[in-house]
Amino acid sequence: MTSEITKGDEFCRLCADDISYINMRDNRITAFTVDGTSYPLPMSMNDLEQALDPARFFRLNRQYIANIKGIRKISLYFGSKLMVKLKGCEDDNIVISKEKATLFNKWLEK
């Protein structure tokens, strides 16, 4: 996926390979690249989930989609959930539900 993104008064090309993770906060979707640059995206999280390569991107929860290269650390969390830390992300409370944790582990093994 490569998209033309408007950032301020300029157009930028954003390639999926450059995305570390995508976050939704206050109903705004933002892609964060490996170098820390952020890009507002005009798509919904569901549309992004469908458009991105499922071999490289996983929907962690309602707020986050992660590139496999953007995952810094995975920890066990109570109730068979997982806690994920993403490269360049200040949010240390990204939780994957028990139901999604099984799918996430299978995704990592591919």
**What distance in Å separates the CA atoms of residue 97 and residue 79, rounded to the nearest whole number?**
9
Output the six-digit token pair for 35. Answer: 């170098």
pTM: 0.89
Tell me: the pLDDT tens digits for 47-103?
999 989 999 999 999 999 999 999 999 999 999 999 999 999 999 899 999 999 999
Calculated CA dihedral for residues 32, 13, 62, 43, nearest 10 degrees: 150
Is the distance from CB of 65 to CB of 22 less than 8 angstroms? yes
